[in-house]
Amino acid sequence: MINVTLTDIGHRGVAVGHLPAEPGHTRGKTVFARFGLPGETVAVEVTSENAKYLRGDVVEVLENPSPHRVVHPWAEGGPGGVGGADLGHVEFAFQAEWKTRVLRSTLRRVGGEALAEHLDEVGIEPRVRTLPSDLPGGGWHTRTRIELTADAEGRLGMYRERGKEILPLHSMPLAVPEIAELGLLEGRWNSVIRPGDRVRAVAPSGSDPVVVINREVESAPGIGVSPFVTEDVVVDGALYSYRVRAGGFWQVHRMAPETLIRLVMRAARPHDGDRVVELYAGAGLFTQPLAIAVGAGGRVSSVEGSALAVEDARANLRDFPWAQAATGKVTPRVASTPADVVVADPPRSGLGVDVAKVLGSGEARRIVLISCDPAAMARDVATLVAEGRRVTSIESVDLFPNTYHFEVVTALE
């Protein structure tokens, strides 16, 4: 246990402080403390340490409690508990400000001074915004998908943060009410769950909730159903309907598909007859509205690494023969495909410098990058700008309330 005064906000949901300097050093070890807030003096239970820094959880506020501190409503996700609610102790109205600070500092620290100066020149001051629909409930009960693991006794839980121990859960306030109604944590599924099973609960917008146990999809204990669910997304009066594997990737926040389609289409501005290249396309969340926008005289070519996701995308594009979905790795060669507009939604690791360089030097008039990690986003955008691109907008939205994650949509021309 250590005592430390926290002075800043860091990436990955931590507040930052420093221990007193040791003899011969100008600065003490850095402390990354979950469940802390800047300005507080706290007691931290250390969970890991190396020569330069240590990590831990705040277990007591000793002095100067922050005005933005609230009681964490989910004890199992608090200090010493499971991951997934690192900002549960932060007043919800302040969480967007917390994430805005992380975004801006990361753009400067990782993207470099050249990117920071570029954003100043074009008049862009990034800010993370909260979804209005999340305000009444403080961002809780918004996830349509949760992942659980059965412990040695068959009890469902999650891994302790940065640990290998499964902690059984009694509640899951991150999930939408439809998931709670499945009764996973009340023992309703005990007859079919075995130690070590990976369990996913899914509450889609266009079909009934299901549970995926390992790879088997069930509507009730022992009752198997189709491996597919339906996601219906309405954006400004237009309906987009998707067939998605229950065990596959889909945005977890109930408002994320609608929000992201609106942001991406506004950033991409596709014209009738355009050639669009979509990288990391998944099951076609953006491919379908892009195909409608370019019309039969245009072309949409999407690439995705998961063959199963591509099968879903092809099903979702059957009414749009000018939109093609291909399985493949996104490489510089793939990124060099001629296009008027490029839309890329890479995994947390981002595009990578090589792919970003090719896109930046290509002929596309607009590039839209959807990022779920600010460090990878800063590196990718800095690379695109270094290749001569100009940032025209950065829209960031908190699609992961009460966690440190957020989504960023960047447009460049």
Q: Report whether 378 contacts 105 (CB < 8 A).
A: no
CA distance 389 to 279: 18
- 96 catalytically annotated: no
Distance of CA 79 to the CA centre of its chain: 22
Beta bridge partners of 14: 10, 34
- Closest by Cα among 84, 85, 81 to 163: 81
Number of H helices, E strands in the chain: 9, 22
R_g (Cα) of the chain, nearest Å = 22
43 Ramachandran zone, left/alpha/beta (phi>0; psi -120 to 50): beta
* Whole-angstrom distance, CA of residue 291 vs CA of residue 296: 8
The catalytically annotated residue of 148, 176, 372, 381 is: 372
Structure tokens at 311: 């099968």
| CA separation for the pair 171, 173 (Å, rounded) | 6
Number of Cβ within 10 Å of residue 214's Cβ equals 12
Q: At what angle do helices 92-109 and 374-386 cross, to 10 degrees?
A: 40
Please give the Cα distance from 33 to 72 (Å, whole number).
15
Provide the token pair at 76: 């199992």
Residue 324's Cβ-side half-sphere holds a number of Cα atoms within 13 Å equal to 9
> For residue 390, which of 371, 406, 366 has the smallest C-alpha distance?
366
Return the active site residues.
372
